[in-house]
Amino acid sequence: MVFLGYFYTMKPKIWIFCLLLFQTISVCAQLDTNYVVTYNDRLVVSLFQGYRYQKFTITQNEITDTASRSIIDYTSPSRYYNGIGIDWDKISFSLSWRTPGNQPDEKKTGKATARNLSFSLNAKKIRFEISHRFYQGFYDNNTVNIPNFSDTTPYYQNGNLEMDSWKVKAILFHNKRNRFSYAAAYANTQRQIKTYAAWVLLSNLYYQKIYSSQGFIPVTVSDTFYTQYRDLNRFDLAGLSISAGFSANIVIFKRLFANATLAWGPQLQYRRIRGEGGSPDFSETKLSLSSGDARFSFGYNGKYIFFFSWIMGDYSILKFEDFVMNSQLISGGVTLGYRFKFKENKVTRFIKNNKWYQML
């Protein structure tokens, strides 16, 4: 792959950059205790329930369509999910799974499979996140535009359509006085007790595969539209983005808080679309100013108990010669957790005494 090959040739420079980054972090002082309280000796366990809005849209521009029948609007029928999170010191882990749907809805929209897995490492000036998302089973919400559609008509269902994505995110904070804690708003191992904000530099390295053995183009539109792409069944996307922005914690009475994190910048992407039997097969590499990150949270962060609500989103538009592909994910939910007393053992002492871990 051209894109991955480019990163391979840059590997020596990337290693030098990482070493300089770690050296910069290692000289940081401790967090200012007048602004941030840490709970390194506590095991934090949280439960959460969320709502996810996942869409994958294809819009053609080759043939005039005043009735909007050619729009393919794949939507996930699995909207709600449950999960558990575990945080200790600088390490965070979470796992979520879909909430079972009711049978009448599944008959109309189809069944879905969804799971999310994430791991993060929180330092004073930088945060690393590794996440994996998998969704399978979508329905075409634009089926309502076909003739004779009624409330009892099932949507066109693509039960084999799957979206599989991996992402590594790094967030570097300009936290000169060590008075800002991003973990206080999202990782639960710290508590911001005074309002503070920081500039952020954010980078994403990601890969996404969208695939369906039955193809992307529904039979309801393939006779008239997308005649060159009837066999289209796979889309691969690899990208690297760098964006700048800010993150702010607003605190009231040392316990009530609200956070907003916004960033925007350029991204380099490798894109490839493929069809069954090798046609179509098209790839390209593009640089664009279309990378954005947005996160919001608000709630109560006490000494032991905390609860908060959050929302975050991912959005991308990919333009090709004859059509546009749009991937959209909006996720939000409510988290409730408690900080338990935790006695150190050989494993935790080994981790804390590791020099690389201490540099964070």
- Per-residue pLDDT tens over the stretch 254-276: 999 999 999 999 989 999 999 88
d(CA 141, CA 74) in angstroms, rounded, equals: 6
Predicted confidence at residue 358, as pLDDT, reads 78
**Given a cut of 70, is residue 101 above it in pLDDT?**
no
Amino acid at site 146: I
- Output DSSP code: residue 278: G
* Cis status, amide bond into 100, omega within 30 of 0: no
The tokens describing 235, both together, are 């889309």
Predicted confidence at residue 260, as pLDDT, reads 95
Where are the chain's structural domains?
A: 2-359
Q: Which residues pair with 305 in a beta bridge?
A: 338
Are β-strands 91-98 and 232-252 bridged in parallel, bridged antiparallel, or unpaired?
A: unpaired
Q: What interhelical angle do 2-9 and 11-26 show, nearest 10?
A: 60
SS3 16: helix
Taking only the tens place, the pLDDT of each residue in 160-212 is: 999 999 999 999 998 878 899 998 998 888 999 999 999 999 999 999 999 99
Predicted confidence at residue 328, as pLDDT, reads 83
Q: Provide, rounded to the nearest whole percent, the portion of the chain with pLDDT above 70.
A: 90
Question: Contact, 334 vs 307, CB < 8 A?
Answer: yes
Predicted confidence at residue 28, as pLDDT, reads 42
**Given a cut of 80, is residue 23 above it in pLDDT?**
no
Question: Contact, 287 vs 271, CB < 8 A?
Answer: no
Predicted confidence at residue 197, as pLDDT, reads 94
Who contacts 252 (Cβ-Cβ below 8 Å, separation ≥6)? Answer: none
Amino acid at site 360: L
The tokens describing 94, both together, are 């979470």
Question: Contact, 269 vs 284, CB < 8 A?
Answer: no
Predicted confidence at residue 104, as pLDDT, reads 56
The tokens describing 85, both together, are 């999170």
**Given a cut of 70, is residue 29 above it in pLDDT?**
no
d(CA 53, CA 55) in angstroms, rounded, equals: 7
Query: Which residue would you say has higher pLDDT here, 94 or 187?
Result: 94
Average pLDDT, whole number, for the chain?
Answer: 84
d(CA 166, CA 205) in angstroms, rounded, equals: 9
| 30: confidence class by pLDDT, cuts 50, 70, 90 | low
**Any idea how long the chain is?**
360
Predicted confidence at residue 2, as pLDDT, reads 44
Residue 177, classified by CB atoms within 10 Å of its CB into exposed (0-12), middle (13-18) or buried (19+), is exposed
Who contacts 332 (Cβ-Cβ below 8 Å, separation ≥6)? Answer: 50, 51, 309, 310, 311, 312
Task: Please name the helix (run of DSSP H) or strand (run of DSSP E) that holds residue 256, with its range, or none.
Answer: strand 256-275
Q: Give CATH for domain 2-359.
A: 2.40.128
Taken in order 293, 312, 137, 319, the sign of the CA dihedral is: negative
CA–CA distances in Å: residue 143 to residues 103, 104, 354: 20, 18, 57
Amino acid at site 51: Y
| 136: confidence class by pLDDT, cuts 50, 70, 90 | very high
Instruction: For residues 214-233, give the mean pLDDT.
Output: 85
The tokens describing 292, both together, are 């954005």
CA neighbor of 329 nearest in space, from 317, 341, 312: 312
Hey, which bits of 175-255 come out as E strands?
190-192, 196-211, 232-252
Predicted confidence at residue 221, as pLDDT, reads 84
| Terminal-residue alpha carbon distance, the chain | 33
**Given a cut of 80, is residue 124 above it in pLDDT?**
no
| 102: confidence class by pLDDT, cuts 50, 70, 90 | low
Q: Provide, rounded to the nearest whole percent, the portion of the chain with pLDDT above 90.
A: 42
